[in-house]
Every structure is written in structure tokens, then in C-alpha cells.
Amino acid sequence: MFKKLLSPRAVYLSLIAAFLCCMATNTHAQITLYSRTVLTGQTYAPMVGGTVINTNAGLSAGSMSTNADDGAVLVNLPFTFPYDNNNFTQATFCTNGWVGLGNQLTVSAANGRIQGNLFTGTVPNNTLAAWFGDMSANFPGPAGVGSMRHGLTAPGEYTFEWRNATGSGFGSTAVNLINFMIKIYGQGSATPGRIEMLYGTQAGALTTGRAIGIEDAVGGPNRFINALNGSFTLTTTATAWPGNGNGYRFDPPPPCVGTPTAGTVNAPANVCPGANFNLALSGHSVGPGILYQWQSRTLPGGTFANIPAATTAAITTNTTVPREYRCVVTCFNSAQTVNTAPVSIGINSFYVCYCKTGLGGSTAASIDSVIISGTTLRNGSPGTAPGFYTQYQPVGSLTTSLQAGGLYTLTVKYGSAAAGSLWIDANQNNVFEASEWTRINTNATTGEVVFQVPPTALSGLTGMRIRSSAPTASNGAANACSNIASGEIEDYVINITPAPVNDIKLQALLSPLNGVELCPYKNIPARIVVYNNGSAPQTNFTVTVNLTGPVPATNSFVYSNVLAPFRTDTLWFTSYVLQIPGMYRVQAHTALSGDVNIFNDSSTVNTFTLNGSANPPIVRKDSVCFGEEAVLRVLPDGYKHNWYMTSVYGTKVFTGDTLRIPNLQRDTFFYVCSEPATNNTGSLTTTTAAGNGCGGGAMFNIVPNVNMRVDSFAALFAATGNQTVNVYYRLGSFAGNETNASAWTLLGTANITVGSTTVPTVFTVNTPLNVTVGNTYGIYVNYNASYTNGNTTFSNTDMIIQTGTGLCGQFTGTNASRMFNGTVYYSIGPKICESPLEPIGAYAGPAPVVNLGKDIKACEGQNIILDAGHFGASYRWNTVEFTQTINVKDAPGTYWVEVDKYCIASDTVTVELDPLPKTSGISYQRVGNAYIFTAAGLQFADKVLWNFGDGTTSTAVTPQHTYATGGIYKVLLILTNKCGSDTTELLIPLGINNIASQNDKVLLYPNPANSSITLEYEEMPANADIIVVNMLGAVVLQQKATNAAKQVIDISSLPAGNYILKLQSDKMVANKPFTVSR
């Protein structure tokens, strides 16, 4: 066989090609190793032949704007072009004066025209820029004369030419023209990898500021060569046309030979577990053909192994265990390899690995104490530490164990008003991340927060950071390692323990609050928070609240919902309505079957005082007709009287003894109570400077210097019209609880009309808030607020107001350092509360229409009922009667009545009577057995009927009748008219011989008589007739005798004169004359 011998040059070129092929997937040689040559005195020769692009259609579809201004064409190279240790077979030829190696058609027009992108990491990259800027290839039409051309111009030489491109701006032109080209040299040339930029003629106006140079695949400082000055960092652009026949040349460095130099490994002695660190060579060989491979092994005694993708002179890596590192340096061309001396890297203690330096700080806003309730961590450290940073060792009261998923209360005291933050490194990666942050407070001398250890926290030792700052400083989630010019940092080592499976915790007894004074007859809510402190969902556990004191009570129920792991639920029990004053204690408990921790099943014991109350008021209701004024009254009793719309006190609508309601149209009810007059009232105003605001309101603290009652507020609103205000409170600072709605109790709601945005509007909500010395009370006024930036403490002798935080939503959208604009009104007085509420009503209705009917004409003896109607009203008759109906039987006359139902109305009626027939008695004249009968005093009779007792009758007015035989006859006189009849009877004894006269045995005395006379007869027959006749024979008195021997007869109605008293029966008769004398 015949073998062709290769020349030395061919061997060299083949080695270069093989080296480049191998290096394409290994590493980037530094672009800065390319040499730069400034070319002068060259002959600029336009291309002959090649591919001509002079229309938009000649550009690649979708490239930039696909036009002469911003467009490109993808060119397939006839050879492999080596560039920066990569091989390219395509190039992107752009109208804006650059060639990008590889397919860069995705570069946008905006990026493809910005010359400064040659010097940054912004695309295009792998850029060869001869006149990079916002220009145009100046295609013909409408006025252009230019073109883009590309093609082989010599073996291994490929040219990209901009012929008669636009020299000024980026429009079409026939006069402002420039000519330039880029040449690249590949296989088949004497200098593979060479790049030349050559410049031809320039005519007319010229836009300068173009970028010239080359850039690698990444871009940025030390990733480009500026052709104008050879700098790797300066971004200088052209100030003039380079000149016809001038240019620039860039050649890659020559390949390595012989044994390379390994150099020295620069590395840290110790690193933090899992934290990235840098390994870098110094004094080592560089250039084409030099390969790097980093290796590591565990200590002690491990075997070195390659680190994947660690093939550059400097790498970034990490480890969690001690390791030894070295770098294997190889010259590919000579196949010679050398190892660096190994370096050992140890592992720091985890708490050394947190950011510690460059954090700032000052003596202001120092951390003076840190306490986690219910744990061993209780650290008092007044003032600031040197450098404003302290790392506490895990001993004694400087450390504690916290359960994954557990809830804990952290209290931090500061040397002055401060903002506080907490981080727990839950994933133990030695970084305090934003997701591991909890806000302690925004502006207070004491911060308190209930925080949760993440349920996913890894077990074992980890770090906890407490950071303070001035209230106005940025001390949020992302500021664990920021440089803050105030406050200090304290780092603690804590131990995270795993969560149990079954554990229900009584997290908090929110109400009744501890140490408060409350009033009887008002709702006292019972509210608790339970927490599933375990990893399993829980249900069907018992929750109980026990109240002890003058009126003990126990409320209990079974929790039937499902409480997810590491979640809270706020439970409301039936409110207490207590009446007996005294000291009360309340405590809540949970009971879960299988609970592994009984020590967190009970709350703390809250103690509260129930004060006495004033005497109930005496009220006077009113009723009026529609549209009239109602007047409701409370009898003066020395108390202030408060009026409410509901039976649970609610919103106070009026204070006073007399409430007038004009134009009443419907029944309206109020509830009134008595309140003792206070000894002293006061108020404290913050500011009305406004300047900012948001729809969620403001939070602030009240610190009372004396026991007092907060009665009402005034606030500066951001808008006028109808507004709703909610006021919440909590025992303890608002700080740290800005977004924790469950930590607050609603004091009340007010619906008010706001008339001004420059003057605060006063409002009252529900019951007053009793506050006591020694406590801080968080207040949240939720309203459409105007407030002021900053934090100021306001005070008088009675109280302190600590501002504050603004909010843009209810318990959301917090803005630190915002001052509530308004006033707190309070009273200081006897510990006597409002009395029970008494209902009082104003009743409205239509005016009563009273109708007694038409005038009445009736008969004597009839019942005549007058009815005023309107059941339930009040009545007054002219007869001094007060009933709805009266009976005016036998009482003719005029009657009127007043009816009071809502208002007073009256009516009158006249009653007339038709009498019954009347007679004063029967008189007669006897002649033997013949009698002439007369009806004495006869009146009003239409008919007369006599019945003589012997079977005969007569209708004559004065009949004469003769009896046939002797005996006793009952004579009846029956008188009738339209109203009825009247019957009078008289016994007639006939036959004297058969009837004994008893005149001598009958005594009648005194005689003369005045008002009475006594009839005495020992043998007085029962039912005998006693008849008195006057001298005319008319019967003027008639009655029946009893069987008593003495009969007293009333004669007071008889006028003075002479009379005959007749006593007669069927056995006897007696006539006794007597005189009535006055």
C-alpha cells in the first residue's frame, strides 16, 4: 500500500482540528487569550461572487423585523469554524453590522440593534462585531443602493460584506454610505480561527457610537475584547470611521506543548455544610489544549474521584463532610498530565456559618431580653454587644428545645422603641431564609408574637436569630443578613424535636381577659384557641370552660370537626351574663383520648372582677297618633341615663332623661339604663396631620396610668358620607399581631355619618372598655383612615398612646410606622356599672274614631249600654267611670267619653226615656159590699185592667164592683203602655162578721211620728198587709209584715199630715190612725 506522508504544517493543522473537536464539549478558553492586531494600509477589495441579499425576501423568515433595518440570514458555513474552544458550522449574518456564530435568529430586533450588548451578557453572544449599532443594509427601494453578500473568497476563508450600507441612521439612502466586511478562517486556511474586520469607503454623513470587537458565549467584563483599545472591560465605541484599508485582526492562542504547570489550589480551610465555596488555580498553564479536571475524596482515607462538570480552572462546589480536593491539569497535544497538591477542607460548626459580618447596628434599639414562654430560654442582656452581634452558646437559659410544628410565645424587650424580626433555620441549610421569618413587632419597646416552628423543621440543632432595628429601618423577611444602621443581632442555638402524633393543646384563653373589670347584665364572651400540636388529624375531643365565683358555670362540648395537624381553631362558647358582683376565675381544658402531653391541655387561669350596677331607671312610655311627637321619660334619680336600640346594650343613641321623637310613624322601642356619674373624664389626642391613609385603619397601644374606662373615640376619616367603624382590642401589644385576627376581640361596630375629612368624627361602640394599670392594650380601629407617617408616643397624666401601624385591609396590608389620627375619650370614676336595661316604647297608630251612635230613645227599665270601642285604650266618661262600656239604665241625659289610644278622641250621645205606667196604689170607697176602686196617682197608662179577685175584671179607670160573698179578695190593677206593664194589688177583706177587729190589741207608736213608726201586735200574722192611706183614701205606702211582734215602718218619705195604717190578713183587720209631724 502507498502511504502519503503529511507535511509538518498538515500535522499541525490536524492536531489543531482534533484539539478543537475534543475541546468543544469541555471548556471555554478565555476569550481574552486571543491576540488583537490593528491593521493599516490594507487594500479593501469588495467581494466577487458569493450570495447577494438585497431584498427582505432574502432574509431568514422570523429574524428580528425581517427587513433591511433589523433582519438577519442564517448561513451554513462550508467548513467548521473554531471559536473560543467551540466549533461552529453556522453563522447569523445581521443587517446591524455583526455576525453571531451559531443560529441566533431568536435574537429580538430590540437586542439586535443595541451596540452595548457586545459588552454585556445580553444576546447576541459569540458575537463578531465590525460596526454594531442600529443601522440598515440599505436594500434598494425606495431609495437604497446597498446589499449584504457572503461566500468563500479563498480556500478556508469566508467573507461577510456590507456593501453600501446606511452610514447615518437606519433609513434608505443613496449618499450616506459605508462599506465593511468580516472574514473568518477555518480548515483549509493557514490560520484557522482567525477573524478579520476590514473597512472600505465611507461617504456622506456618519453615525458613530458603534461597537467593534469580539465576545464569547457568556458576555460581560473579561468576556469580550474591545477592538478599539484591546480592553476586556472598557465599553468604548467608535467616534469616527476606522478608515479605508484599516481594520482589526484577532488570532486564537497557540496550543500547548510539553508538560503543563499544575499551579496551586486556592481554597478555604473550613466551609459551612452545604454552602457553596470556590476552588481556583493560580500559576497554572492556560490556553488551547489545556484541560482541567477537579477531583475530591472524603476524609480520612477516601479515593479521589472526578467531580462532574468541574473542568475549568475555577469552580464552585459544596460539601457536607470534610474533603480533600485537587485538580488534574492535562496538555491534550502532548498527552502530559500533572496533579496539583491536594488541599483539605474542614466543616465549620453550623452556627458559625450564618452571616455574621457587615450587618451594621448601633446602640439604639438594643435587645435587652429574650424570653420564649414555657421553655428554658430566658436571656437578659441589657444594652448592645460589641459589634452589635452575639452568638450565644447552647447552655442553660441561653438555649431550649422547640417542637416541630409547635406554637410558642416570644417576648423581646428593647432599649428603646424598635422593630423586631425572628428567623429559625428550619431546613438547617445555614441560611436564614425569607420563608423562615416571623415579624415580632413594628414599633414598641416590648415585642410579643406567637410563632410556629415549621412542621417540616428538621430534627436536631439549628440556629435562631433575633434582630432589632429602628422602627423606620427595613427589617423584614429578606433582611437577616442586610446591613442595617441600627439595632443588634442575637443568635441562639436551639434543638428541634419531632412532633408527637396525638397532642391537642389549649393554646389560649382569649376571653374573658385576665385582670379586667366587667359589668353585670352584659354579654361576657367566652373564647378559646385550640391547637393540634400533633402530626395526626384530630376530632371528637372534649373542650370545657369552667367559671368559678359567686355564680359558677361549666360549658362543655365535643369538637366534631376535623382539626388538621398544626392548625388552630378559635372556639366561641355561650356568653356569660352575670348579675352577682364579685371575683371570678375562668380556665379552659381539652381532653383527647391518647393525648401524649397532658401538661398543655389547660389554659392559664384568668381572673376578672364583676362590679356592681346602678339601680334600674323608672320609665314612662308614650303613645301618639301617626306624625305626632312622642315623649319618652325617665324619672330623675341622680343617675345619667343611657338609651340603646337593643336589649344587649349595643350602640348608645342618647343620654338624658327625656327623649323626644318628632313625627312618629311606627312603634319604636328603646332600652334605658342608669349609669353613675363619673368622677372625672378625659381625652388624649394623637395628631390630625394626615398625609397618608388606607382603607384598613390603624393600630396603636393604650397604656393606662390609672384604672379607667375607654368610652369612645374620634378618628380622622379619608372620606365623608356613611361610614362603618369596627373597633377591636387585645390584652397585650398590637405588635406582632397585625395580621392575626384570632388574637383580637371585637369591641363593637358603629355606623356613622362623616361630615369632614379635616376634623375627626366622634363615635361610640357598644360597651366601654375597662383598662387597668400595669397592662398594655392593643387597639385596632378598622375604618377608612387618614393617618400620618412616623411613630410618636403621646401621653398625659392618665394614659400613654403608642403608635402604630396602618393597614389597607382588615388585618391585612400592613404599613409600619403609621400614626393614628384621632382621640381616645375615657372616664375615671366609681366601680359601678350601668344598671340592667329597662324597655320603653313609643307607640304610633291611627287616631281613634269614637262613635257612641245616634241619640238614644228607650223605655224605662231597659239596660242601655254605651260602648266607646277601641279595646285596650284608656277611657274617661262624664260619669267618672273609666271602662270601655257603661250602663245608663233609667238615667236619661247627655253622656260623653274621651278615648286615649295613641291620641285622644271623644263623642257625645243623648239618652231619652219613655216611662213605664205608674200608680201610687189602689184606693177605694166601700158602701156595703160595693166598692169604687181608684188608681191613685195614675200616670202614663194606655190601658187599665182591674181584676177583682172573684173572677171578674174591668177596664174602666174608676170601676165600681160589688162582691157577692164575704171573704178576702186580692184586687189587681194592671197598667200597660208601649214600654211594658205595671201591676198593683190590694187585699179586700169582705164580711166583717167573719173577721175579728183587733184595733184594741194593735199598738202604733209614737204618734205623732217623724221618720218611723212602730207597729206592735203579739199575734202578728206572717205576710199580713200593712197599708197606709191618706185622708183621700189613696194608698201611699204598702208592705208585707213579717211574723215579728214588732214592725218598724219607715215613713220618712211621707209628707206631714194624717194617715190611717191598716193591718189586715184573712184572719184579722185593724185600723190605726196616726199623724206625721215635722
CATH number at residue 1014: 2.60.40.3080
**CATH of residue 395:** 2.60.40.2550
- How big is the CA angle at 885 (ends 879 and 889), to the nearest 5 degrees? 65
DSSP assignments along 175-189, one per residue: SSEEEEEEEEE-TTS
Q: Three-state DSSP class for 581?
A: coil
How far apart are the C-alpha atoms of 614 and 1071, rounded to whole Å?
Answer: 83
- Domain assignment present for residue 987? The answer is no
Q: Give the end of a domain, one of 467, 497, 527.
A: 497
- Domain assignment present for residue 311? The answer is yes
Paired strand residues for 334: none
95 and 216 fall within a common domain? yes
Tens of pLDDT, residue by residue over 280-318, are 999 999 887 888 999 999 988 889 999 998 988 999 999
Q: Three-state DSSP class for 350?
A: helix
643 and 767 fall within a common domain? no
- Domain assignment present for residue 925? The answer is no
323 and 387 fall within a common domain? no
Cis peptide before 142 (omega within 30 of 0): yes
160 and 30 fall within a common domain? yes
Tens of pLDDT, residue by residue over 151-187, are 999 999 999 999 999 999 999 999 999 999 999 999 8
The pLDDT score that the predictor gives to residue 7 is 38
402 and 522 fall within a common domain? no
The pLDDT score that the predictor gives to residue 997 is 63
Torsion angle defined by CA atoms of residues 553, 554, 560 and 566, in that order, rounded to the nearest 10 degrees: 100
Contact between residue 217 and residue 28 where contact means Cβ atoms under 8 Å apart: yes
Tens of pLDDT, residue by residue over 697-714, are 999 999 999 888 898 999
**CATH of residue 902:** 2.60.40.10
Give the pLDDT band (50/70/90) at residue 990: low
Give the pLDDT band (50/70/90) at residue 827: confident
Find the distance separating the first CA and the last CA of the chain, reported in whole Å.
193
The pLDDT score that the predictor gives to residue 678 is 67
Q: Is the pLDDT of residue 1050 over 90?
A: yes
Q: Is the pLDDT of residue 992 over 50?
A: no
Q: Three-state DSSP class for 779?
A: strand
How far apart are the C-alpha atoms of 112 and 108, rounded to whole Å?
Answer: 6
451 and 518 fall within a common domain? no
- Domain assignment present for residue 983? The answer is no
Residue 500 CB-density burial (10 A; 0-12 exposed, 13-18 middle, 19+ buried): middle
DSSP assignments along 351-369, one per residue: GGSS--SS-B--STT-EEE
Q: Is the pLDDT of residue 489 over 90?
A: yes
Beta carbons within 8 Å of 115's beta carbon, 6+ residues apart? 129, 132, 133, 134, 209, 210, 211, 237
- Domain assignment present for residue 954? The answer is no
Q: Is the pLDDT of residue 694 over 90?
A: yes
Q: Is the pLDDT of residue 492 over 90?
A: yes
Contact between residue 698 and residue 781 where contact means Cβ atoms under 8 Å apart: yes
204 and 223 fall within a common domain? yes
The pLDDT score that the predictor gives to residue 782 is 97
356 and 334 fall within a common domain? no
pTM, to two decimals = 0.52
- Domain span at 96: 12-251
**CATH of residue 822:** 2.60.120.820
**CATH of residue 271:** 2.60.40.730
355 and 396 fall within a common domain? yes
- Domain assignment present for residue 1061? The answer is yes
- How big is the CA angle at 785 (ends 779 and 791), to the nearest 5 degrees? 60
Q: Is the pLDDT of residue 27 over 60?
A: no
Pick the range with the lowest mean pLDDT from 395-399, 463-467, 512-516, 662-666. 512-516
Rounded mean pLDDT, 335-355: 91
241 and 103 fall within a common domain? yes
The pLDDT score that the predictor gives to residue 11 is 36
Tens of pLDDT, residue by residue over 392-426, are 999 999 999 999 999 999 999 999 999 999 999 99
Q: Give the end of a domain, one of 571, 587, 613.
A: 613
Residue type, 169: G
Residue 253 vs residues 192, 335, 807: alpha-carbon distances, Å: 11, 19, 64
Tens of pLDDT, residue by residue over 1020-1040, are 888 888 989 887 667 889 998
Q: Which three cell numbers stand for residue 387?
A: 459589634
Paired strand residues for 378: 371
| Element spanning 16, H or E | helix 8-23
- Domain assignment present for residue 968? The answer is no
- Domain assignment present for residue 955? The answer is no
Kindly tell me the sign of the dihedral angle through the C-alpha atoms of 765, 766, 769, 770.
positive
393 and 276 fall within a common domain? no
Q: Is the pLDDT of residue 26 over 90?
A: no
Q: Give the end of a domain, one of 251, 278, 310.
A: 251
718 and 818 fall within a common domain? yes
Q: Domain count for the chain, please give it.
A: 8
The pLDDT score that the predictor gives to residue 552 is 96
Q: Which three cell numbers stand for residue 974?
A: 194592671
